[in-house]
Every structure is written in C-alpha cells, then in structure tokens.
Amino acid sequence: MTMEIIFVTGKGGVGKSAVAAALAMQKAQSGRKTLLVELGRESFYQNALNLSAVSYHGVTWPGFPQLEGRFTLALWSGPECLKEYALYLLKIESLYRLFFENPVTRTLIQVAPALPELSIMGKATSGPRRVGPALNYDTIVIDAFATGHFMALLRAPLGMAEAVRFGPMGEQSRSINKVLSNPELCKYVVVAFPEELPVVEGLELAQDIQQTVGIKPTLVMNRWQEISASVLQEHSDEEYLQRFQRHLQRLEQRQNELLALVKENFLPVMLPQIFEVDFSKVVTALTASLSEVKL
C-alpha cells in the first residue's frame, strides 16, 4: 500500500477537525491503517469525544471495534517531535539527557525560529524519508493549524533550508521539503464553509499552498445546506416562518454565489451541514457523505 500524508487546514472555525476526523475514519474503513494527528499542546478531540487522554504515541479512536485498531488518534506538539528526533539522532540516552536538561537547549527550543514547526514536519514526513522512529501507517491525516499558522508550518523547512545552507539541519530541511512537494505522497485539503471570509481566505490559502509546494489542494465546502425549492417558495401566514424563510433564501443566494466563486478554480467536495450537537455523530455523518468522494 502506498503511504499518504494528508494535511487538513482552512480558516479557524470552519470545521477542520470534524472534516479531518471524517476523512481519517473513511480511510480506516476502507482498510488503511490510519493515524489522525492533531497539532499543539492541547487536544481538541479529547474534549469533543470525552476521552481521558490523547497522547503523543496515540490512542484508538473510541467506539469502532470493527476497525480493529486501524484508526489511531495522536497529539503532536513541536517540542515533543523535536525531542523524539533528537533522541533518535543522538542515540545515547545520557547524552540526550544532558542535551535536553540543559537550560541552553530548553530556551532554544522555545524561541529558535521555526524549530518546533520544522520538527513537526520532520515527524510527519519521517516515513517516506526513512528518518526517525518508524511510523507504520498507510495514511496520516493531519488536522493542521489554521491559515497563517499552517503556512508558517509549511514554510518552515523551506525557510530553514535557506537560512542554514550547510550541515544536517539544512539537509533535513531539504529532504522534508522534497516530500512535502511530492504529489504521490502528500495531499492538501482546504476546508471552507459558505460564508464570505472563510471562502475568500480559503481560496487565498489554497493558492499559497500551491505556490509553496506545487500541489493543488482539494477544496472542501463544509456545512452546505441543501434547501429544496418548496421550502424556499412555500407561502406561510406565520410571521416567524416568513422570517425563517427569508433567512434560508439569503443563505441559498449566498451559498450559490460563493460556490460559483470557488468553482472558478476548484471542483469542491461538498459536505452537508450536520444538525447534530454530539461531535462523534457529526463525524459519523460526515464520513458517510465522504464515502462517495475519492480524495
């Protein structure tokens, strides 16, 4: 099975995490051993799914015994990725301790430009590069940062390769960059929903990604509401129903305008608005919608 790494991004609040989870779930259901990764210090999924913890090395996504452990969820922070990589490179535990328990290194990690970002990208691409501890997954779905932070993440290896031309760090950066620009290995998904700013920012982001790695992202239009003609045209004497109908008419118009804008450059994947409060139900419903789509 060929390995694939899928980065999911978009403007904040567009439902990235739900889409990333649904995508990972779909991959796992299709028989691929899948890792869903969230980035940062704190886990979003932990709260959303009421899990006791989400760890660096991963926990099984709850409630799907039929997937037989093919769906794992992990939380990666920059410092942890760096630590793992350094341990792999330094090999000797005592040297590693000396290295990491040293105040110089601690401060460096906190502030050194793009080092945590670089480590995250290093870990994400460690499979195809055969560097670092093995990541035995067919698919890695990364619920990545929103717009600006994602571009900083994506550009970190490039920036580092330019800043440090010689030595191992420059070399590593170049090899990471090579994987990130390989369409056979990496896919990018930009999530938006039918409102002006998420769509406009999403389109800009997609363009930035394409310019940086040369791969055209897939655009997902999330929370799309299919509104039937009868709902839009039906006559009602109730004032509140009339108001609600006007709300839907505006929504319909806005949706169509924004979809037309997206379609100028993309063939978007459409995902419906899910009228559920429970996060795992939202993910299950989105997974069902995704099953007809090839990503």
Partner 1 sequence: MISSLTSAKVIICVGSGGVGKTTVASAIAFQAAEEGKKVLVLTVDPAKRLKTTMGLSDTEDMVQIKHPSLTGELWAAVIDNKKTFDDFVRRAAAKAGGNVDRILKNRLYIQLSTTLSGSQEFTAVEKLYSVYESQKFDLIVLDTPPAQHAIDFLVAPQKLSELFNDNIAKWFREPGTKGVGIFTRLVQTGTKQVMKALENLTGSEFIGELADFFRDVEKWQTRLEERTSAVHRLLVGEQSHFVLVTSFDEAKLHEAEQFSKEIRKGGYRLSAVIINRAYPSGLRMNVTPGLDLQFSAKSSTDLERAYMKTQNYYRDRDQIFEKFFIRMGREAQVLRLPELESDVSDLGGVEKMARELKA
Amino acid at 87: L
- Range in contact with partner 1 (rule: CB under 8 A) among 58-66, 133-141, 208-216, 238-246: 238-246
Q: Name the segment binding partner 1 (CB under 8 A); options: 52-60, 124-132, 179-187, 232-240.
A: 232-240
- Contacts with partner 1, 42-81, as mask; x by CB under 8 A: x-x--xx---------------------------------
Kindly tell me the sign of the dihedral angle through the C-alpha atoms of 44, 56, 288, 270. Answer: positive
Q: Which CB, 95 or 293, lies closer to partner 1?
A: 95
Q: Which one among 30, 68, 247, 256 touches partner 1, defined by CB under 8 A?
A: 247
Is 272 one of the binding residues for partner 1 (CB under 8 A)? Answer: no
* Closest to partner 1 by CB, 69 or 113: 113
Q: Are 21 and 252 in contact (CB under 8 A)?
A: no
| Binds partner 1 by CB under 8 A, chosen from 201, 223, 224, 262 | 201
Where does this chain touch partner 1 (CB under 8 A) — which range of 27-35, 58-66, 210-218, 272-280? Answer: 272-280
How many whole angstroms separate alpha carbon 45 and alpha carbon 241? 37
SS3 13: coil
Mask: binding to partner 1, 134-153, rule CB under 8 A, as x and -? -----------xxxxx--x-
Binding flag, residue 108, partner 1 (CB under 8 A): yes
Under rule CB under 8 A, which residues in 158-197 are in contact with partner 1?
159, 163-170, 195-197
Q: Nearest distance from residue 67's CB to partner 1, in Å?
A: 23
Nearer to partner 1 by Cβ, of 41 and 130: the residue is 41
Looking at the Cβ atoms of 15 and 137, the one nearer to partner 1 is 15
Contact criterion met (CB below 8 Å) for 139 and 6: yes
Q: Where are the beta strands (DSSP E) in 78-229?
A: 139-143, 186-192, 218-224
DSSP state for residue 220 in the 8-state scheme: E
User: Does residue 261 bind partner 1 (CB under 8 A)?
Assistant: no
Residue 18 CB, nearest distance to partner 1 (Å)?
10
Residue 42: closest CA among 32, 51, 31: 51
By CB under 8 A, is residue 226 in contact with partner 1?
no
User: How crowded is residue 29: how many other Cβ atoms within 10 Å of its Cβ?
Assistant: 17
DSSP letters along 50-119, please?
A: T-S---SS-EEPTT-GGGTT-EEEEEE-HHHHHHHHHHHHH--HHHHHHHHTSHHHHHHHHHSTTHHHHH
Which of 198, 121, 205, 144 is CA-nearest to residue 9? 144
Nearest residue (CB) to partner 1, 3 versus 109: 109
